[in-house]
């Protein structure tokens, strides 16, 4: 039995290390996707506006994602002329000190939507959306705030409204994913360690995981929202795991019944090791999905 436990432990540790290595080359950057519903017929440009920064650095070497298509001079002039005082167009003019890659013309995404992506370090935290159609008056949104590194907003041009997806979706999906996978994995290990015969042990197991894994899910969501998914965001989870491991080992040693305390502590360590490895493996697909709904 001890040899099997050692083998399982080493396998889980190896999988964890491989997961971190696989993400080490990634470097998430700011990304804002503007989805346009009921877009104008014909040519239009859409850009982000950023507040002027008094005495700040200006970066006017922004790149267009659609550089292969020449700009219409009249439409460009119309958009820039409609920029409110105290603001500037990020792609067509400049940003406050960092480059941005902007897609002024957008691309068809089906279902009546066009997508405009704005990426890299120059994506502003405080911004407005400006849309200038070739056969109509330019429209400017209210002031908006980015609450996560990578997110989206939906512009309904027909209704002249902007919808920002609620951030609670990210926390809800991460919480649900973390809790369900943890309860399944650690529940199986609980039974294999011989603690599943008593109803009390299952209640202890459920309560401990609601506290520790619930907190971990919130920490994970906050980290990925602010920093995106990359090597540093994954490594930022390690301190949380270093707190959870001894906390659960101590809780199980004190509260589980039917087996020696040393066995309960060993269960806490191994169960957390397996759930941590699965959490590292699942974080990329989970956050790919979360980013698609933000």
**pLDDT confidence band for 262 (50 / 70 / 90):** very high
Indicate the SS3 state at residue 109: strand
- DSSP labels, 29-97: --EEEEEEESPPSS-EEEEEEEE--TT---B---EETTTTSPPPHHHHHHHHHTSPTTEEETTTT-BSS
**pTM as predicted:** 0.76
Say whether pLDDT at 232 is over 90.
Answer: no
The token duo for 246 is 């001894």
Say whether pLDDT at 159 is over 90.
Answer: yes
Say whether pLDDT at 100 is over 60.
Answer: yes
Q: What is the pLDDT of residue 57?
A: 65
Say whether pLDDT at 23 is over 50.
Answer: no
Distance CA 241, CA 235 (A): 10
Secondary structure letter of residue 133 according to DSSP: E
The token duo for 25 is 């080359």
pLDDT in tens, 164-181: 999 899 999 999 999 999
Rg value, the chain, Cα: 25
Q: What is the pLDDT of residue 118?
A: 95
The whole-angstrom distance between residue 185's C-alpha and the CA centroid of its chain comes to 24
Q: What is the pLDDT of residue 14?
A: 44
The token duo for 27 is 């470097």
Secondary structure letter of residue 134 according to DSSP: T
Which candidate, 145, 207, 215, places its Cα nearest to that of 174?
215
Say whether pLDDT at 8 is over 60.
Answer: no
Distance CA 172, CA 83 (A): 37
Say whether pLDDT at 198 is over 90.
Answer: yes
Say whether pLDDT at 24 is over 60.
Answer: no
**pLDDT confidence band for 1 (50 / 70 / 90):** very low
Mean pLDDT across 71-81: 94
Residue 250 contacts by C-beta under 8 Å, 6 or more apart in sequence? Answer: 265, 268
Which candidate, 144, 130, 142, places its Cα nearest to that of 44?
130
Contact 245, 269 (CB under 8 A): yes
Contact 137, 18 (CB under 8 A): no
Say whether pLDDT at 15 is over 60.
Answer: no
Residue 254 contacts by C-beta under 8 Å, 6 or more apart in sequence? Answer: 261
Say whether pLDDT at 11 is over 60.
Answer: no
- Chain-wide mean pLDDT for the chain? 86
């Amino acid at each position: 039995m001890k040899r099997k436990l050692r083998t399982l432990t080493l396998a889980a540790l190896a999988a964890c290390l491989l997961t971190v290595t696989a993400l080490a080359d990634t470097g998430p950057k700011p990304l804002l996707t503007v989805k346009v519903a009921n877009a104008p017929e014909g040519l239009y440009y859409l850009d982000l506006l950023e507040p002027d920064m008094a005495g700040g650095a200006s970066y006017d070497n922004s790149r267009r994602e659609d550089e292969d298509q020449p700009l219409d001079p009249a439409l460009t002039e119309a958009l820039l002329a409609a920029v409110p005082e105290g603001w500037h167009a990020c792609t067509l003019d400049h940003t406050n000190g960092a480059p941005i890659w902007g897609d002024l013309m957008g691309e068809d995404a089906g279902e009546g939507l066009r997508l405009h992506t704005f990426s890299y370090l120059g994506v502003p935290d405080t911004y407005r959306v400006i849309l200038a159609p070739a056969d109509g008056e330019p429209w400017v949104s209210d002031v908006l705030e980015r609450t996560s590194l990578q997110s989206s907003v939906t512009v309904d041009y027909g209704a002249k409204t902007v919808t920002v997806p609620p951030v609670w979706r990210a926390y809800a999906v991460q919480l649900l994913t973390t809790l369900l996978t943890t309860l399944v994995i650690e529940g199986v290990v609980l039974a294999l360690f011989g603690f599943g015969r008593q109803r009390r042990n299952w209640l202890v197991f459920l309560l401990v995981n609601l506290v520790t894994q619930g907190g971990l899910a919130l920490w994970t969501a906050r980290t990925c929202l602010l920093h995106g998914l990359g090597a540093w965001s994954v490594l930022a989870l390690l301190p949380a795991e270093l707190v959870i491991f001894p906390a659960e080992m101590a809780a199980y040693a004190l509260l589980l019944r039917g087996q020696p305390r040393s066995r309960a502590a060993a269960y806490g360590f191994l169960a957390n090791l397996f759930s941590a490895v699965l959490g590292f493996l699942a974080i990329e697909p989970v956050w790919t999905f979360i980013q698609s709904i933000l």
